[in-house]
Amino acid sequence: MQIWKQLALSLVLLLVGLAAWVRVVPSAGPMLVSVGVPGSVIALVAPSAASGDKGQGEGQGRGGQSGTQRAAAGNQTPLVVTEAAGTALVNDRLNAIGNGEAILSVTVTPLSTGNLTEVLVKSGERIEQGQVIAKLDSDEQVLAVAQAKVLLDAARDKVERNRRLGNAVSIATLREAEFAEQAAELALKTAELDLTRRDIVAPSKGIVGIITVNPGDYVTTSTPIAVVDDRSQILVDFWVPERFANNIKVGQEVSAVAVAQVTRQLTGAIHAIDNRIDQASRTLRVRARLANPDDSLRAGMSFSVNVRFPGDSYPTVNPLAVQWSADGSYVWRVVDSKAERVPVTIIQRNSDKVLVDAKLEKGDMVATEGVQRLRDGGAVKVANAPAGAVGDAGEQKVSSARPVAMTAEAAR
């Protein structure tokens, strides 16, 4: 192929590609004009693009935004909405459900085996410590006591007789008689103890529960006769999260409400604290003590326990104010119409507020809207500023628009 044909084909392909580029890319026409391509050439390859550029120029002359105006608009100060930071307390109270127990609860069992002959108390009766509540058959023990007394009397007579004889008996014989007397005294005490153990006595005062045995039953040392509860005070066991382990103290005041008596407010104190955290639940067992002077509370009742603490105070911000970056979370604080980036650590997230650990004070203005264009140390305008500040901002906006208007007039 001859050289002039190659040049002609290349020129045609160039014009076709140029026309396609100008038609597809709207900004291609102005770009070619800026590099010195005549408008007639552009009109030749893409008439619509040239007419569009002309219309755009006319629109600018009639008041449309020019490139200078658009640049001025892009340099305007960001407009933000702010909200004052607040404060909130966390870990200042604890609510837990606990189970009540009598301050002293004893299951009474016999000290020896035998047949039960009588029960001397009734269920629900108040008894005192040492009171006999039941008896076992004791005929054998009575006879053993009588026999021990006879043997003791005989041993004492023998000692007295040897002492009256004086030197007629040896010292060894007298000492043997005295040892026999001591053994007889011990045998009598043993028999009396066995007889005493035929009586079943209450080891503590309190209220007798349901008696589960009847006269005539054969009982052993492991047979429960009755449960005696001292309900003068009620102990409530509940579990607290381990974050409260260092704050809760013995003697600390608590308030409680029995689930069966929701209208009655009870007060008490921490009675005991366990010495270790439960690894399965990560909680600490705590026991509170409640007074029960009118005996209206029962062992086994459930209680809602409330404990108050000094708590930890943290700043609060609107959830919209929290932003994220590669370095973590942060908020924008507005001080003297300047944006300041403040790193935050989220402590607790609620529906309306977020508790953060940050260098924020109550009343600090934090941006909640319009934060996309902010930069650290940059100027900002506050949309919800006081009336005077809004007026100033309006004046600044008008003055910034004057050069644009002058440019438009000059363009005309």
Model pLDDT, residue 246: 87
Which residues does 12 contact at the CB level (< 8 Å), separation at least 6?
none
Model pLDDT, residue 39: 65
For 296-349, the pLDDT digits (tens) are 999 999 999 999 988 888 999 999 999 998 889 999 999 998 999 999 999 988
Identify the burial level of 49 via C-beta atoms within 10 angstroms of its C-beta, where 0-12 means exposed, 13-18 middle and 19 or more buried: buried
Q: Is the pLDDT reported for residue 12 higher than 80?
A: no
Span 130-150, average pLDDT: 93
Phi, psi of 89 (to 5 degrees): -100, 140
Domains and CATH numbers, the chain: 3-62 (no CATH), 79-87+313-405 (2.40.420.20), 93-137+198-309 (2.40.30.170)
Model pLDDT, residue 72: 43
pLDDT greater at residue 55 or residue 314: 314
Phi, psi of 394 (to 5 degrees): -65, -40
Q: What is the DSSP string of 269-301?
A: EEEEEEEEEETTTTEEEEEEEEE-TT----TT-
pLDDT greater at residue 393 or residue 199: 199
Model pLDDT, residue 47: 57
Which pLDDT band, with edges at 50, 70 and 90, does 34 fall under? Answer: low
pLDDT greater at residue 12 or residue 389: 12
d(CA 177, CA 169): 11
Phi, psi of 157 (to 5 degrees): -60, -40
Which residues does 43 contact at the CB level (< 8 Å), separation at least 6?
50, 51
d(CA 288, CA 385): 53
Tokens 């009586």 belong to 199
Q: Is 266 helix (H, G, I), strand (E, B) or coil?
A: strand
d(CA 134, CA 130): 12
And the tokens for 166?
Answer: 């004086």
DSSP assigned state of 78: P
Please give the C-alpha separations between residue 341 and each of 70, 80, 317, 349, 374, in angstroms, as whole numbers. Answer: 28, 14, 14, 20, 9
d(CA 356, CA 360): 9
pLDDT greater at residue 91 or residue 196: 196
And the tokens for 88?
Answer: 């909130």
241-245-249-254 Cα dihedral, nearest 10 degrees: -10
Model pLDDT, residue 73: 45
Q: Return the bridge partners of 382, or none.
A: 80
Model pLDDT, residue 44: 63
**% residues pLDDT > 90 (the chain):** 55
Identify the burial level of 81 via C-beta atoms within 10 angstroms of its C-beta, where 0-12 means exposed, 13-18 middle and 19 or more buried: middle
Lowest mean pLDDT across 241-245, 276-280, 386-390: 386-390
Which pLDDT band, with edges at 50, 70 and 90, does 28 fall under? Answer: low
* Residue 208: closest CA among 223, 222, 226, 225: 226
Model pLDDT, residue 24: 67
Mean of the per-residue pLDDT values of the chain: 82
CB of 319 closer than 8 Å to CB of 83: no
* Residue 108: closest CA among 96, 123, 97: 123
And the tokens for 283?
Answer: 């909680």
Q: Is the pLDDT reported for residue 225 higher than 90?
A: yes
CB of 207 closer than 8 Å to CB of 231: yes
Which pLDDT band, with edges at 50, 70 and 90, does 230 fall under? Answer: very high
d(CA 76, CA 57): 24
Tokens 């100008």 belong to 22
Which pLDDT band, with edges at 50, 70 and 90, does 1 fall under? Answer: low
And the tokens for 16?
Answer: 């076709």
Model pLDDT, residue 37: 67
